[in-house]
Structure 1
């Protein structure tokens, strides 16, 4: 007679777990379709069919196609382990080590969500909402670099660089296009790219005669 109350006690947890699983299945179905056939060609109905749920369930979970994309972007950021980057930045004040921490995050992001980033940029050429999502991601990345570079002592950057230029150089070197070229055309493994980025950024940004 006591088993029934115990079962009811966990009903809410069971429903929450099932809802999270459904959300994840919808997001994964949307990602497959967005990447394989493009943002514009993909409908919410197709996402629902791919995920094995109803159309109202998709809208209830994410609100719209844009909501789906934003959820995928958020998931990609978590998959790249930003907490690990923050821990690495806090572990040492050494600029080269901090560059390595930021580069490691970028490599993980491109490795795990490069297809999504490319999709978002291309779709943003015709969809202003998606262009805003992509631009927000770029602005957040720049903000992180500005925050880190600003903590460095004077004369850490090369003498011919100001802070905005240093951020520009980082963005020009460490981006999805360079990553894609090296992995797909040149067959570099991601770890080699990460190591090379750290070396190049150290050479291009840091004053070799810094204190």
Structure 2
């Protein structure tokens, strides 16, 4: 019985390692080749697994892309609120320290995520399943924006503040500054901190 439980645990760990490997490979290929140029078969070949395994494990190309997106930005977690909760902002009494943690978290997520954002936009135009997954991700981002306001606003705020935080922390906003305007990540981080502080303080 003990050996059987051990073997099951080992198989589960090996399966998770394969999933992580496939997601990492997929993130690199999607960033390099785009939505149309990246196939499930190509990801499987690069990762050294079967196409059938990838299709079954990720429920097709849309699910594979979202797994790659999460792997690049949140270490593979499907629980953005849970990842955000790990910042333990509620345990920190200093609002400025909370804001610093948030900005560091945003930048750490956005830098690896950014190359996949245009791929996601292009893919959503072609695939209804990906559009649904993107919509779910947008709703998750909105929930996180509400949590940011709850944890960082020094007092009551107006209805627009959540939407402003939502836009400030979008990957598309990061890309506009860094890719289109040539900002460094450090310059973007300083801007984000100033902008969030201004919005949250304005109420």
Shorter-chain TM-score range: 0.7 to 0.9
**Counterpart check, 1:189 vs 2:180:** no
Partner Cα distance (1:93, 1:203) in 2 = 19
| Cα-Cα RMSD | 3.3
Q: Which residue is equivalent to 1:19?
A: 15
Deviation, structure 1 residue 146: 2.0
* 1:145 Cα offset (Å): 2.1
Q: Once the two structures are superposed, what CA deviation does each residue of 1:41-78 show, in whole Å capped at 9, x if it has no partner?
A: 32222222222222222223223112212322443453
Residue 37 (1) aligns with residue 33 (2): yes
Taking a change above 3 Å as real, the CA distance of residues 79 and 20 of structure 1, as seen in their structure-2 partners, is closer
| C-alpha separation in 1, matches of 2:45 and 2:151 | 50
User: How far apart are 1:110 and its partner, in Å?
Assistant: 0.6
Shift of the 149–80 alpha-carbon distance from structure 1 to 2, 3 Å rule, reads farther
> How many residue pairs were aligned?
199
For structure 1, the 5+ residue unaligned runs are none
Instruction: Specify whether residues 76 and 182 from structure 1 end up closer, same or farther in structure 2 by C-alpha distance, changes over 3 A only.
Output: same
Tell me the TM-score normalized by structure 2: 0.77
Indicate the structure with greater helix content.
2
* CA offsets 1:149-196 (integer angstroms, 9 cap, x no match): 346788544xxxx22x11222233332233223333555432332222
The equivalent of 2:194 in structure 1 is 199
Structure 1: 4+ residue segments shifted above 6 A: 5-9, 151-154
CA distance, structure 2, for counterparts of residue 145 and residue 73 of structure 1? 19
Gaps of 5+ in 2: none
Distance 1:19 1:104, change over 3 A: same
Q: Judging changes above 3 Å, is the alpha-carbon distance between structure 1 residues 166 and 18 closer, same or farther for their aligned structure 2 residues?
A: same
